[in-house]
Every structure is written in C-alpha cells, then in structure tokens.
C-alpha cells in the first residue's frame, strides 16, 4: 500500500476530508461527535488508532489526540490501555419520551410512565382552576421563581419529606430535567467533573455531554455508591460535584439506607463537593428517611419533582438551594426559563393544599406494590435493597448480549425494553442488566403478558446460546 493511500483499506471510521475546516482538531471532534450521535458509529465500535487516522488525514498526530480528548470529555468515547479507543455504550442514548407508535403495537416496558391512570384526578383540578376568576393573573410574566403562594405550597410539600427550607431558597422549575439543566449551567463549567454511579440516569448523561462536563463513574454495591470509592476518586481526580438518586436509584432501583447516606455525606463534606440530589422518587422512601441534603445543606442542590408522584405532563419541580448558590441559580433560571408556568404551579399547589396530592401518591404506591407482586411471579428480586414500591426493576442477565440487537429483537417480539448499556458511564465489561418498567403498561394484564414474553426471550437465549446472534 503506497504511503498515505487508504484505498480499499478497512477503517471503522473514515472522516470526510472535504468537510474539514480550521481549527482541524475541533473540526475532527465535531465530525466524530456527529457520526456517533446520529448512529453512524455504533456503541462499543473500536475507532482507528490515532496514528492511523493522522496518516489517513495527512495531519499531525497531536491534532487527532486533541480531537479525541474533546470527545472523551463529552463522554462520547473511552480509551482502554492496550486495547484502543471505543465509542461509549451510552453515547447518544438519552431516553426519549416521544411516542409515535401505533396503539397496542407493543407493550411498553422501557419508558417509565408513572401510572397515568391517576391523571383523571388532576384533570378535575385543572377544570376547577380554569373556572376561577383569578386565572388571568396566572398567565403573565410575574414571579419568575414562583409566587409566594406557590412557594409556600412547595415548602409544605417538602416538609412532608423532611426538607425544611426557607421560601427564599425555593424556586419553581419546569420539571426535574429543567432543574438539572439549571444546576449544571449555573454552578459548573466546561471540563468540570461530577461523580456519578456507574449506572445512572441517561438524560443526565446526555445533559452533561452537551455541556462538556465529565462524569466520573464510582463503583457501588447493593446499597449504592461506595463512600470509600468516592473518596479515592476525589483524591485521584479534581471532582467538583456528585449526582445521586438515593430514594429509588434510576436505573438500579436501590433505596439507599440511612447509614450509607450519612457516610456519603461525610465524604461530600470532606471533599467540598456540590451535591445534586435528584429526589424524584422521594415519595417511595420510608417517611423516616432523611435526604442526604439534610446532612450537608450548605453544599446541596435538592430537586423534588412531581412528575412521578403526581403528574408527568404538568412540568413542575421544586429546587432548594443554599444562600451561597442563590445568585447563580436565580441567574440560571432567568436565563433558561424566564419563568415556569404559574398555571401549572397553581394546579400542583391546589392539589397539595386540598389533600388531593396525598390521595394520588397513595393510589400510585398501591398500584406499584401490586405490579411488583406480578413481577415476582416471573423474576426473582436479586437485591434486597431495591425499593419495594419501585416503578421498575433492575434485572441481571445470565450472559452478555449485543445491547442494540437485544432491544430490537425484544421489540420485534412485542415488548419495548432498555438494556443496561443505555445507563452505563464509561467502560464496564461485567454483568449486564435490563431495566424493566412496571408502570407503563395499560393494566396488570398487559404487564403480565409483557413479562411472560420477556421470560421466554431470555429462556430461548439460554437454550440457544451457541447459535444466538444476540449473545456476544
């Protein structure tokens, strides 16, 4: 092969030379990001060696190294010593809620839809509010952080779950994802590092990638993130923050006990980390449990969304922040939101103050416990620390699968489900899992049918391991 001639030479990624612009390193990084995000490079694809790419493009090796570093910081690729550089398993895998399916074309067991059966109660509240004479006042630009009445209602709701905050340190946002975006943009900079569980919420991964914030995976056990592992990584890396979901971790379902919460709080305090406590499943934890925020209030951003507890379609969350972060958070809310819908906030405040919110939570927990019993008919709960009222389960797989192919095969057989690669931060070659949603099926009968299909798929894989193309 002539020097710099790559005709007929196999390369897993061959960037288009005609699309390169200056600066070259940034152009290459952008091309690589585009091909990953748009699915032209599958997860875990091994990229060409840097020297080979440099030779192909006829540029300096350092330019490729610089481009790869940008993509690595965005979580798009990872390097393994002695093996090469690979496309991250979760790159571009943020979970979309978009639903264009034909009705009943498959059973939903991937997306977590929080028992929308209770939305009829919410609808009645909406009708009542719209009939009131003051509704016009809810439609202007006033009170960008929430009206005093809405903030007092938030305070009342938060107190039920052991957060006692001044209303001056509470803001109304447009859901948990919006709160996370506000937090990251307000308190972190490009290149900052945030500690997360090895498996974590995929839309947080996507958000961090977009903002060029590096996520550092921390090993855990049956109780969640290990404090000693967090402390060790803080010594090795310049970590600025930590993201946790202690009430019912997504995707593992772990309910973190009080001892582990206190131990992590000590490490957080010691290393001066900013805690982002995403407590969207707060209502599923025992009422005696304290948020981690209560142990380190001056270092914590506490996010309490009503999307799972009350209604997913009314985008409202409460964000609690200490005084030292107040100016930054408020500036972030003004810049990103301008304001959250006061009409939406009014609906939630009305449900809180009439007791309707408590009724909805009670109904959802009851339905969830019933569906958890159905799940146990088909699969064993391996981790005793999984929240017993969880809306989903973390199902360990007996062998390794090609994640994309497994999901496609399951869909062809009538169920939509998510493989653990969607939730993975960095590289991990250990056991694989499925996150099985219990809450999105139309009813218990549909859930049972879906679980039966899933059990059959896994049984067939076990029986046909030698010829099954799904198995790695």
264: three-class secondary structure by DSSP: helix
CA distance 92 to 40: 11
Q: Measured between alpha carbons, how far is residue 455 from residues 154, 372, 380, 402, 469 in Å?
A: 42, 16, 12, 18, 18
- What pLDDT, in 10s, does the model give residues 216-258? 999 999 999 999 999 999 999 999 999 999 999 999 999 999 9
For the CA atoms of the chain, what is the radius of gyration?
24
- What pLDDT, in 10s, does the model give residues 258-279? 999 999 999 999 999 999 999 9
Say how many C-beta atoms besides its own lie within 10 A of residue 276's C-beta. 24
Q: Which of 74, 83, 7, 16 is nearest to 45 (CA)?
A: 83
Domain 17-87 has CATH 1.10.10.10: yes
Cross-strand pairs, 318: 172, 304
The residues, any chain, with a CB within 8 Å of residue 385's CB and separated by 6 or more, are: 222, 223, 224, 254, 255, 256, 257
150: three-class secondary structure by DSSP: helix
- Sign of the four-CA dihedral 28, 214, 323, 281: positive
Cβ atoms 312, 114 nearer than 8 A? yes
The residues, any chain, with a CB within 8 Å of residue 225's CB and separated by 6 or more, are: 195, 197, 218, 219, 244, 260, 264
Domain 107-117+358-463 has CATH 3.30.1300.30: no
DSSP 188-224: --TT-EEEEESB--HHHHHHHHHTTPEEEEE-EETTE
Domains 17-87 and 107-117+358-463 share a fold: no
Q: Percent helix, strand and coil across the chain, each rounded to 5?
A: 45, 15, 40
Cβ atoms 301, 321 nearer than 8 A? yes
Say how many C-beta atoms besides its own lie within 10 A of residue 1's C-beta. 8
Give the strand pairing for 433-437 and 418-419. Answer: antiparallel
CA distance 296 to 267: 10
- What pLDDT, in 10s, does the model give residues 60-94? 999 999 999 988 888 888 888 788 998 887 776 66
Whether residue 34 has pLDDT greater than 90: no
Using H for helix, E for strand and C for coil, what is the string for 340-374?
A: CCHHHHHHHHHHHHHCHHHHHHHHHHHHHHHHHHH
Mean pLDDT, rounded, for 200-212 = 92
Residue 289's pLDDT is what?
Answer: 96
Domain ranges of the chain: 17-87, 107-117+358-463, 133-354
User: For 249-328, where are the E strands, in sequence order?
Assistant: 274-278, 300-305, 317-320
Whether residue 469 has pLDDT greater than 70: no
Residue 100's pLDDT is what?
Answer: 43
260: three-class secondary structure by DSSP: helix
335: three-class secondary structure by DSSP: helix
Residue 6's pLDDT is what?
Answer: 63
Give the strand pairing for 193-197 and 214-218. Answer: parallel
Average pLDDT of the residues of the chain: 90
DSSP 3: T
Residue 339's pLDDT is what?
Answer: 87
Whether residue 144 has pLDDT greater than 50: yes
133-354, CATH topology level: 3.40.640
Mean pLDDT, rounded, for 140-167 = 93
Q: Measured between alpha carbons, how far is residue 430 from residues 198, 252, 427, 433, 464 in Å?
A: 11, 15, 9, 10, 21
Mean pLDDT, rounded, for 340-351 = 94
């Amino acid at each position: 092969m002539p020097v710099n001639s790559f005709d007929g030479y196999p390369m897993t990624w061959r960037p288009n030379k005609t699309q390169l612009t200056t600066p070259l390193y940034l152009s290459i990084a952008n091309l690589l990001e585009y091909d990953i995000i748009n699915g032209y490079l599958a997860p875990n694809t091994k990229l060409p060696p840097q020297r080979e790419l440099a030779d192909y493009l006829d540029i300096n090796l350092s330019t490729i190294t610089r481009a790869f570093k940008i993509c690595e910081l965005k979580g798009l690729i990872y390097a393994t010593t002695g093996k090469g550089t690979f496309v991250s398993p979760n790159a571009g895998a943020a979970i979309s809620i978009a639903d264009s399916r034909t009705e009943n074309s498959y059973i939903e067991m991937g997306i977590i839809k929080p028992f929308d059966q209770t939305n009829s109660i919410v609808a009645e509240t909406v009708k009542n509010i719209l009939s009131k004479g003051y509704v016009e006042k809810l439609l202007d630009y006033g009170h960008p952080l929430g009206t005093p009445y809405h903030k007092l209602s938030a305070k009342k709701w938060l107190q039920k779950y052991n957060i006692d905050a001044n209303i001056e340190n509470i803001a109304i946002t447009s859901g948990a994802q919006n709160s996370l975006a506000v937090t990251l943009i307000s308190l972190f900079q490009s290149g900052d590092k945030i500690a997360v569980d090895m498996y974590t919420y995929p839309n947080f991964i996507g958000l961090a990638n977009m903002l060029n914030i590096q996520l550092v995976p921390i090993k855990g056990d049956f109780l969640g993130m290990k404090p000693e592992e967090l402390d060790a990584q803080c010594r090795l890396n310049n970590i600025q923050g930590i993201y946790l979901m202690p009430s019912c971790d997504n995707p593992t379902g772990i309910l973190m006990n009080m001892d582990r919460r206190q131990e992590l709080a000590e490490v957080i305090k010691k290393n001066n980390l900013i805690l982002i406590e995403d407590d969207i499943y707060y209502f599923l934890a025992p009422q005696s449990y304290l948020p981690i925020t209560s142990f380190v209030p001056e270092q914590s951003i506490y996010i309490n969304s009503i999307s799972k507890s009350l209604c997913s379609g009314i985008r409202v969350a409460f964000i609690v922040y200490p005084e030292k972060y107040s100016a930054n958070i408020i500036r972030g809310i003004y810049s990103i939101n301008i304001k959250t819908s006061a009409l939406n906030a009014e609906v939630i405040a009305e449900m809180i103050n009439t007791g309707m919110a408590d009724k909805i939570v009670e109904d959802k927990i009851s339905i969830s416990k019933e569906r958890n019993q159905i799940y146990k008919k088909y699969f064993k709960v391996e981790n005793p620390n999984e929240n017993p009222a969880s809306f989903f389960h973390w199902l360990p797989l007996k062998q390794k699968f090609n994640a994309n192919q497994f999901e496609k095969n399951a869909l062809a057989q009538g169920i939509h489900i998510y493989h653990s690669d969607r939730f993975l931060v960095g590289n991990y070659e250990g056991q694989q899992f499925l996150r099985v949603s219990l809450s999105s099926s139309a009813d218990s009968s549909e859930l049972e049918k879906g679980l039966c299909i899933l059990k059959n798929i896994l049984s067939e894989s076990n029986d046909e391991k030698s010829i099954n193309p799904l198995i790695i």
